[in-house]
Chain A
């Protein structure tokens, strides 16, 4: 009388089945990422960088890991965040700034909040999309940065941008070239 083996096997099957069922239902519930109003600003003829903006929302939560555009548009694409007074963020990213150093304490001596320096930080870990929250990539904030621009972006252009999300995978959108936000 040996019931243990079949019982174990049965248990294993039931467990796997339950797990698979659970995974399956997760997949069904994940509706991916909603991308709205993707646009890019037209660039000056001598500019070598550009920016793509859009609104993102993921019902279940996700992360924008990277993005790409055709090589004929730009050589490199990164996800960036414009920050104010960048030294409070990942220290060391600005490295040994030996050139153009503002004299220490100047930003405060002037006494004006607006004097604070603005800069960009690459979001190497990507951009988190909390579940159900709309995240805006917009001027002065998050943006997909285009580097090594191969040609100026002009009005009428549409730039195909492939977004890579941790869960949703690849999503392609067309960014409309505009001279202003609206």
Chain B
């Protein structure tokens, strides 16, 4: 799905529209596809689905069960990956709070198969202590991974795999700065396939329903 590289100038309005319509259509088709997707997922699924491969990131949460720093789910479980930063007052706390709500409503047996991993796009301020404290507020300590890397190229590589991005803003006189970032939550299975992704604003209820469906599906596949 490479864009037209020869086009140096920004897309004109009508072409932009065509691309968007095409993208949305692809998503709609993906959603309607009966290719092993019996239910309707509330979130979005790319066509083709993103595969994260064997990429690893340093996991600064020593209490986590994810020792290798993998971004994949474990066994028949899922890894829910989020790109954000802890100084975020509105977007990140909202998404993580909704995710926490969603997980609280899930069967304990299913909940055990879920891992949450946050990749900080602001490693300058988000060190291990800060990020662990932050994620520990939302999730049990064995359940989350604090992905921190000061290697900008590495961070960019991982972002690109997911289609995520961020932009550090101008430094203010007091040293503070804003960070813009894409705000999706990605569900990755143990094969490294992004099964579904939830845009900002997805309700806890919708996330919970998708998670349960994906886990059920996985359990069915394992037992057959």
Chain A contact residues, CB within 8 Å of chain B: 41, 43-51, 80, 82, 86, 93-97, 99-103, 105-120, 139-140, 143, 145-147, 179-180
Q: B96-129: which have CB < 8 Å to A?
A: 97-98, 100-101, 121, 129
Chain B 55-99 interface 0/1 with A at a Cβ cutoff of 8 Å (1 = within): 000000000000000000000000000000011111101100110
Enumerate chain B residues within 8 angstroms of A111, measured Cβ to Cβ. 1, 19, 22-23, 26
Q: Is the CB of B181 within 8 A of A117?
A: yes
Enumerate chain A residues within 8 angstroms of B3, measured Cβ to Cβ. 105, 108-109
Q: Is the CB of B93 within 8 A of A44?
A: yes
Q: A122 → chain B, closest Cβ, in Å?
A: 9
* Assembly CA distance A85 to B16 (angstroms): 15
With contacts A45-B137, A145-B90, A180-B97 known, is A110 near B170, CB below 8 A? no
* Assembly CA distance A131 to B129 (angstroms): 47
Residue in A closest to B94 when the chains form the complex, CB atoms: A139
Q: Is the CB of B152 within 8 A of A47?
A: no
Q: Is the CB of B94 within 8 A of A106?
A: no
19 pairs, CB–CB < 8 Å, chain A vs chain B: A43-B137, A44-B86, A46-B137, A47-B89, A47-B93, A48-B87, A80-B90, A86-B180, A97-B167, A100-B156, A109-B1, A112-B44, A113-B199, A117-B167, A118-B91, A140-B201, A143-B89, A146-B89, A179-B97
Q: Is the CB of A147 within 8 A of B176?
A: yes
How extensive is the interface on chain B, given as a class?
35 or more
Looking at chain A's contact residues, the main secondary structure is loop
Residue in B closest to A149 when the chains form the complex, CB atoms: B89
Checking B16, B94, B131, B152 against A140 with a beta-carbon cut-off of 8 angstroms, the contacting residue is B94
With contacts A51-B89, A112-B163 known, is A99 near B199, CB below 8 A? no
Q: Is the CB of A44 within 8 A of B137?
A: yes
Q: B122 → chain A, closest Cβ, in Å?
A: 9
Enumerate chain A residues within 8 angstroms of B24, measured Cβ to Cβ. 113
With contacts A45-B133, A46-B133 known, is A115 near B164, CB below 8 A? yes
* Assembly CA distance A120 to B100 (angstroms): 23
Q: Is the CB of A49 within 8 A of B170?
A: no
Enumerate chain A residues within 8 angstroms of B159, measured Cβ to Cβ. 102
With contacts A114-B199, A119-B178 known, is A108 near B133, CB below 8 A? no
Q: Is B20 an interface residue (CB 8 A)?
A: yes
Q: Is the CB of A102 within 8 A of B89?
A: no
With contacts A46-B133, A99-B152 known, is A114 near B44, CB below 8 A? yes
Chain B 152-187 interface 0/1 with A at a Cβ cutoff of 8 Å (1 = within): 100110011001111111100000101111111000
